[in-house]
Every structure is written in C-alpha cells, then in structure tokens.
A and B are shown apart, each in its own frame.
Chain A
C-alpha cells in the first residue's frame, strides 16, 4: 500500500494545487471559521469535551448502526440524517453546503465521486488522525488507497463498502444444457452462442449503467485517469478499454446478449423468467437478486468473473462508497473515530450488512462476519461470499477516478445507448466520452495533457 501511495505523490501535488486554484477562481464564500479542516497530522486532536456530530447517508437502516454507537459513546453523540441518493441530489446539496460552510461532519460519497469533492476542497485529510491510523491496515488495500489521491499518508474518505464483482448464473440451466460455467471471456462468448441455441441469452449488456462498463474495463487493467505534475491524462479509449468495448460490440452484433436497462424491473423479469441465464454483478447484487427474482430461488450460483487471461484472478469493482469528514467539521478526530468504528467494527459491519446490504471493505469483516460465512439458500446453500472475498483481493489497485465522473458517465451512457441502437459502435462511445470528459475538465480550469 505504501509503495502504491508514494508512486503517486506527484499526482497529489497537482490535485492540491488545482483545488486551491479552483477555490480561488470561484471567489468562494467567506470562511466561517479558521478552525477545523486543515489536513496536517498534528491538527487532528480530540476536542476534550462532549461533542455532537452530524452524519448523512442513504444506506437503508444506517440509523441502527448509529444508535449502537450513541449507546456506547455518550461523549460523542451522532445525529444521523437520511438523505436521497448522491446522484439524485445529495451531491448537489453537498456542493452547496460546502460553499455555505454548512456541511455535516461526516457524509457518504461514492468512490467515483470522491475526486470531484476533493477538487472542491471540501474534504478533510484524516490520514493524520489517530483513529484512522489505527484502522487503516484493516481495509482492503485498493479501497483505502483510492482515497489518498496519491498523497503520502493521506486519507480523504473511510471506505464504507465495496463492490467486488462475480458472475451470478442459473446453475440448473447451465447444468442441464451441459454448458460449463465460463472462466474466461472467450468461454463466455462460446457459452453465449450455445445458450442462444437453447433459446435463451447469457445475459444483459445494460444500456444505462456506465459504471458497470467502467468496472469491466477496470478488470482488464484500464487506466482512465492519471495526474502527472500539474496535468491530467485522460485515456478512456486506452487499449484495455477498447478490447472490452470490441468484445461486447461483437456480442451485441451477433445478438448474443440482451441490451435492456440494467438493475431495473425489465432485467429482473428476464432473470426470473429464465430468459437471461446470468448476470455479472457486484457483491451487493446478492441480496438484490434474491429479492427481485424470487421465483428462481435455489437455482442460482456464483462464480468468479470470467478472465481475459486464463488462470488470472482479476476482478472489477462496481460501486462502493466512503464516509468523508467534511472540511467544515470542527471535530475531525471524533468524526474519524466514529467513521472508522462504523465501517470496521465487526458489530457495526454486521448491522450495515444486515440492514443496508453493504459488503465490508475490511478483510476482517469479509472473513469473519457470521452472515458472510454462511451458505445462502437462494444460491443453493453456496457460500457465495467466499467468491467475493477472493474477488476483492483481485481488484486492480491502480485504477483512478476522474474529477468529472458525472459528465463522463453521462457521455458514456449516451454513446452506449446509441451503439446498441446501431448508431455507431461502443468504440465511438469511448471516443465521444473521452472528448466530452476533456472538454468538461478544461471548462473547470483543469490542465489536461493531450
């Protein structure tokens, strides 16, 4: 982990200076107070008095976790506020609150949106806080390193949950048709052809889930963003991503996959009716599939994601989020103490998993949570979590998110939508998303090298 960080120290400097530049350029609103916020290790001290923190998230049932904390920590009370999903409006609200200096102390931000808030200079570096230093080692390497932006020792968000990926498949149908479960993408293609001959389809290429496509590119070692000195390099159309795009283009052209919106009722219906035989999903898909495709209970199983090179253990990661301490928090020490507890303590993780379906970002949680060591009846009593723990270990730690993912995703989704309708190809979608991303970044006064 340390080496991975040091490698990207240069990137950090760039990010920080750009962030400052941006704040200056916006002539941002007056600072409400001088205290809190600053990132030095020395400044993260306990308040030495009882404090009340605010915490916002949109994880179902998070109140229960907060209640448990409040019961045991009378001096650090947490006031929990449930808000709408990040992209449904909470990210916008955070941005406003940052401008007004009215943020909560702790807030939920998904990994892919973290850089954008870092650039708004809205986050506290809690890397110097004792509770974070104590807990840091528990987290999966790549999850915690994604929150450092390459700064040595920096932590801008405590990983809440992660979404390592695997393939969910209808074991009964695969067995009956005598089709082996694909372990490589080549085998996936062969299986798709055989399943088509059986009258089904192997799965869906979701037209509205750019993050899903991103995680497939991530699995293949794509590097969409990197920062060097003062400038960003954007390569959405790098070789690894193009290989993924060309592969799926082939499946789409040969009509071997559905092209319907993902994670919605149409897809659940296709999965529950036996039309689609598999879905490439994340750890959090486990419960979702179970509740959304109830008729096929007991017929599903989970296997590692197909590989580009036979014998590898490369997995993508889809989703996942962090708990950040906002810059305006006056109590970064207490805030990070709460956040690390809520997302690494086993009792807390058990609650988060039970109520919120969260897959823990700590190795300890993945291996020891009672709920994650049991076989699941819906999956024929398979211990599916072992597959995800293995996947979590196989996620490429070098993938970095860009600062304008909302626009990147929008452009990508737009291009994918066109491609599945026969207007252009997935390659064109990458080219368009690449251009749009660079344009948006330049509009935000970021330096982008060509």
Chain B
C-alpha cells in the first residue's frame, strides 16, 4: 500500500471503508454465479438439484471434466478450438481494420469524412440480431453459408472499434510527430505501422478484447449460418446439448461443466491483456 493511500485511510476512514465494503459486496454479487458454476460442476447429476453454495457429496469436478471432454468423440474440444480460432483471428483482423479506419478518419482530411464517420457510427446502433438474416441471405447468394468464412467475415467488422480508434488516435497521435515522420521520408503506411499503431496501443487492446468477447459469446450468427456440428463454436455446441438434456439426462450436468470451461479462455485473455490496458490508461494521465 502506498503512503498516499495510507494517509487517505487515516484521514477519512468512513468513506474509504464504506467504499471498500460496497466494492466487496459488488464483487461477491458478480462472482456468486461463477462460484455456483464451480460448485455445481463438482457434484454429480443428482447433486445438481441441491442449490447449496458449498461442495457437497463427492468431489466430481475432474471426472465431470473428463466426461465432458470425451463425450461424443471429443466434440467439445473441437468446439472450443473453433471458438478460439474465430475469436482470435476475427478480433486480430477486426482490430487492425478498425484501427486503420479510425486512424484515417482522425488524421486525414478528405471530403465526406464526417459522412463516412456518421454512417459507421450509425452502425454501432444497429443490433447484430437485425443483421443476421440479411447476412445469411447474402452469404447464401455466394454459397458461403455453413463455412468458416460465414463466421469470420462478419466478425472482423467492428463499428465501435472504428469509433474508438478515431477518438483515441485524434488524442494520442500528435500531428507534429506524423509530420516529422513524413519529413524523414517515411511513407504513410510506415508512419502508421511504426508510430501511430504503437501510440494507439491501449485502444487496440480494448478493441481486441471487446471484439474477442463478442465473437466468443456470439450465438445468433453461428446459429443462423452453421449446420455442420464440426464448425460450431462452443456457445452453439452447448446449446445443442442443452436442447437434448430432456432425453439424455447427463447433458444437464455437462452443459454446466462445459459452460464453466468455456469461460476460462476469456479469463486468460483478460488477465493477459489487462497489463497493457492499465499501462496505457495511466500513460495518458501523467503526460508531461
């Protein structure tokens, strides 16, 4: 704990304690469902009906995980790999495109710039649900439904990313720096990739994470596009299990365990990337 914080705690104990308490309650509130998943994943099928929040009966987590992973020829592993592939590739390419577009909108003056930006901004407001059907019809015209492309191509579009990139590039990339680069003979692409992209780092991480989570959690698009079980992302795969649980009783437990496993990659992505996030945010704060 830093000296600064210690002073504050001594000076104004009640607000600090109250705030901390509030945060603790919030944390508990948000973590409770997660905890329930861990507990529920560790019981047997029969134990699932006990709503207790502590481990009861035999601790079956590892057995359950093994059952989920091996069920139907390891199809679950396949789904997770699919999800990881869609989310990683989609988010990487999506972030690159969004940052290029946002940067161009922020740093180049050209006729129709605001019009283009406004159209993209309007795109933020259009819910993905509304686009699923038109996308399906377009993809079926070119015979790309039920393929990897039908998930990847729509996933690399991120109007919100463009918006964020533009705002951030406008603030974080000084025009003077670009002019200096140009004077030194750097082309526009070089200036973008070697200078601007680095300065936009924190925004890129944010966009990447948003896009990663969006693609990982996407249900509607794959539902509309895919019929081949081998191409399913984990969301759709778990939903198929869920709709069979009425007959194949064990699936009720498998869905819970599978859902728990499926959020682990998201946690890893967040924990691994939040470092860049924080450093980026504070960078702006202590500008000399």
Contact = CB atoms under 8 A, between A and B. Distances in A.
B243 A291 contact: no
B244 A100 contact: no
A418 interface: no
Contact of B137 (A96, A268, A295): A96
A370 to B, nearest CB: 19
State which size class the interface on B falls in.
20 to 34
A357 B246 CA distance: 9
B249 interface: yes
A265 B48 contact: yes
A83 B223 CA distance: 9
A312 B140 CA distance: 53
Contacts of A356: 247
Contact of A60 (B140, B145, B248): B248
Contacts of B133: 96, 99
B137 A272 contact: no
Contacts of B220: 89
Contacts of A295: 46
Contacts of B248: 60-61
B48 A102 contact: no
A288 B228 contact: no
B229 A284 contact: no
Contacts of B243: 58, 84-85, 88
B239 A81 contact: no
A127 interface: no
Contacts of A148: none
Contacts of A97: 136, 140
Interface string B115-152: 00000000000000000110011001100010000000
Residue of A58, A96, A97, A272 with highest tally of chain B CB at under 10 A: A96
Contact of B49 (A99, A104, A268, A284): A268
B239 A88 contact: yes
B105 interface: no
Interface string A82-95: 11110011001100
Interface string B200-226: 000000000000000000011001100
A263 B48 contact: no
A101 interface: yes
A103 to B, nearest CB: 10
Contacts of B164: none
Interface in A90-121: 92-93, 96-97, 99-102, 104
Contacts of B250: 291
B240 interface: yes
A431 interface: no
Contacts of A292: 249
A54 B229 CA distance: 13
Contacts of B236: 84
B240 A84 contact: yes
B227 A83 contact: yes
B274 interface: no
B82 interface: no
Contacts of B140: 97, 100-102
Nearest to B220: A89
A272 B46 CA distance: 10
B240 A96 contact: no
A190 to B, nearest CB: 30
Contacts of B46: 272, 294-295
Given A81-B229, A84-B240, A269-B49, A288 B137 contact: no
Contacts of A268: 49
Nearest to A269: B49
A96 B227 contact: no
A92 B49 CA distance: 32
Interface in A287-317: 287-288, 291-292, 294-295
A29 interface: yes
B240 A83 contact: yes
B249 A288 contact: yes
A56 interface: yes
B224 A93 contact: yes
A101 B23 CA distance: 53
A294 B44 CA distance: 12
By Cβ-Cβ distance, the 7 closest A-B pairs, closest first, are A85-B243, A291-B249, A100-B140, A357-B247, A269-B49, A81-B227, A60-B244
Given A81-B229, A89-B219, 16 more contacts: A58-B243, A60-B244, A61-B248, A81-B228, A82-B240, A84-B236, A85-B242, A88-B239, A93-B227, A96-B136, A100-B136, A100-B137, A100-B141, A101-B140, A102-B140, A104-B227
Interface of B: 45-46, 48-49, 132-133, 136-137, 140-141, 145, 219-220, 223-224, 227-229, 236, 239-240, 242-244, 246-252
13 contacts: A60-B244, A83-B227, A85-B242, A88-B239, A97-B136, A99-B133, A100-B145, A265-B252, A269-B49, A287-B247, A288-B249, A291-B45, A295-B46
